Amino acid sequence: MKLIDTNVLISFWDASEPEHLWAEDVLSLAVAEGMACVSAVTVAELCSFAGSSSQDVIAELGAMRIELLDVPVAASVLCGDAYRKYLGMFLSRPTLLHNAISAFKFPVQ
């Protein structure tokens, strides 16, 4: 199973994105292996964009053979770890968002 992030899909659909070719490769391989899926959060983010209906988003993901998952909260830790690794691999310099996330201190319970 390969959980596809919203940004990968956006880069895939927008040929002007700098990561477009990379997104094509990643998504094509995941779909070919029958392992591409998106979480409920990604579906919500895609449905929030102006210019497309929620039904169109769901239909497009289905046509692309991308499975819709309801990922449990416990998986969020793994997703966060994977995103941190992604940032380390692809960002030569931290972004404003990355700095904000890094500075945030989660309350200890």
DSSP state of 71: -
Long-range contacts: 76-84, Cβ < 8 Å, 24+? 79/3, 79/39, 82/3, 83/5
The larger pLDDT score, comparing residue 95 to residue 83, is at: 83
Both 26 and 77 in one domain: the answer is no
Q: For the CA atoms of 93, 99, 103, 107, what is the dihedral angle to 10 degrees? A: -110
Are residues 78 and 67 part of one domain?
A: no
Buried b (16+ CB within 10 A) or exposed e, 33-45: eeebbbbeebbeb
Same structural domain, 67 and 84: no
* Residue given tokens 């929030």 in the structure block: 48
Q: What is the pLDDT of residue 108?
A: 45
| Furthest C-alpha separation in the chain | 45
**Domain check: are 58 and 107 in the same one?**
no
Same domain, 2 and 30: yes
Query: pLDDT band for position 22 (50/70/90)?
Result: very high
Q: Domain of 76?
A: 72-109
Q: What is the mean pLDDT of residues 40-52?
A: 83
Same domain, 77 and 37: no
Residues 67 and 77 in one domain: no
Give the pLDDT confidence of 57-88 residue by residue, as tens digits.
899 999 999 999 887 777 777 777 777 777 76
End-to-end Cα distance, the chain = 32
80 and 66 within one domain: no
- pLDDT at position 107, please? 46
Say yes or no: 9 and 51 in one domain.
Answer: yes
Q: Are residues 5 and 54 in the same domain?
A: yes
